[in-house]
Amino acid sequence: MSVLINVQPLPEAKLPKPDIRKLGVPQLAEWLLSHGFKAFHAKQIYKWLWQRSLKDFSEMTDLSLALRNALEAHFGFYPLSVQEVQKSQDGTLKVGFSLYDRNLVEGVLIPTEDRMTACISSQVGCSLSCKFCATGFMDKKRNLTAPEIYDQVFEINQQALKNYQARLTNIVYMGMGEPLLNYQNVLSSIEKITSPDGLGMSPKRITVSTAGIAKMIYKLADDQVKFNLALSLHAADDEKRNKIMPINDSNSLEALKEALRYFYRQTQNRITLEYILFGNFNDSPQDADNLFRFSQSLATRINIIEYNPVELAPQFQRASGRVLNQFAAYLADRGAIVTVRKSRGMDIDAACGQLANKNKV
């Protein structure tokens, strides 16, 4: 039986040393100059921190011993560590991470013939309480830092290389937590993931998924982000969506539609609508028509997702394969771009909606 560590996080103010990975190149250069070193070393240090993800100053071999010792004296690292790796029968890997304060998060590697996708977390727990999601039954403990988000990607890439001799091709922010409620850290992590001095991935290979916070979608648009956006919709009428996603009370479907239109006008990035099909809840022909009408005026593609059972939400059941196919066909026949996403990693609780810190300790 899995057991969770239940400890209070160590407040950042009480960390033994400042986290060097929270400094950008300008801040590193300023520190170097103030301590008698050359500013150009800032870019060298930055590459060691992000491109090679080093956590030991002594290994930064193109820096002088004096500089390495000074860095060691002034700064620290607070990385996550791989605690457990579970492999599904279908090849999906669930990676349990332990954070510096002994909190736990999970990430997933989803291998297919043409992709290696990392699904990563942005928060410890979640505050949105979606009724069908295992993470939604947890309290939100804290936001992940940009380095902690980045470390998940780096470590899952290492697992891809180790197990499949292939690098990551795609990243989805669809793990634990609501990314847009950790806005600055999520965007900072993406900046480092896409930087030539980081992992150098294309932002077009990154998707951020939100339960739907209209004002933050407007902010993404105004910030001219280059990555893709996905909306976890799951019901295309307010009455049903209110029942399963409390966030809809303050972010109605009409408000979200306007925000998505604005996002597309500003970025020209197509939006994905994610729709989990629950048996006898949101799987009727009327539900399909509601979804089509919601998507009609938006530049969207639709992902129909099989429901993955969650122990704490027994009221939800998976729709039958026949109903799922009919639902998808209804949309496709009317010109919608539709993909049916099959469950991956369900036997290790790694499928969509199942992440809930079940790591063994």
The confidence band for 346, taking pLDDT boundaries of 50, 70 and 90, is low
**Residue 258 is a catalytic residue:** no
More confident residue, 325 or 309: 325
**pLDDT at residue 294 tops 70:** yes
Q: What is the pLDDT of residues 247-292, one digit of tens each?
A: 999 999 999 999 999 999 999 998 999 999 999 999 999 999 999 9
Q: What are the structural domains, with CATH classification, of the chain?
A: 17-74 (1.10.150.530), 81-348 (3.20.20.70)
Cα-Cα-Cα-Cα dihedral sign, residues 52, 56, 57, 62: negative
- Determine contact, residues 73/58, Cβ cutoff 8 Å: no
**What tokens appear for 307 in the block?**
């429901």
- For residue 272, the cross-strand partners are 230, 301
| Active-site choice (119, 126, 130, 352) | 352
Per residue in 80-111, pLDDT (tens digit) is 999 999 999 999 999 999 999 999 999 999 99
Q: Give 14-31 pLDDT, tens digit per residue.
A: 678 999 999 999 999 999
Average pLDDT, the chain: 90
The two structure tokens encoding residue 72 = 């060691």
Active site residue 106: yes
Q: Which residue has 């039986």 as its token pair?
A: 1
Instruction: Identify the active-site residue in 106, 155, 178, 274.
Output: 106
Range of lowest pLDDT (96-105, 321-330, 345-354): 345-354
Question: How are beta strands 228-232 and 271-277 bridged, if at all?
Answer: parallel
Residue 98: is it exposed, middle or buried by C-beta count within 10 angstroms (0-12/13-18/19+)?
Answer: middle
Tell me: the pLDDT tens digits for 34-56? 999 999 999 999 999 999 999 99
**Cβ-count burial 289-326 (b if 16+ within 10 Å, e if not):** ebbbebbeebebbbbbbbbbbbeebeebebbeeebbee
Q: Which helix (H) or strand (E) holds 170?
A: strand 170-173
pTM: 0.90
pLDDT score at 345: 54
Q: For 307-318, what is each residue's pLDDT tens digit?
A: 988 777 778 899
Q: What is the pLDDT of residues 231-251, one digit of tens each?
A: 999 999 999 999 999 999 999
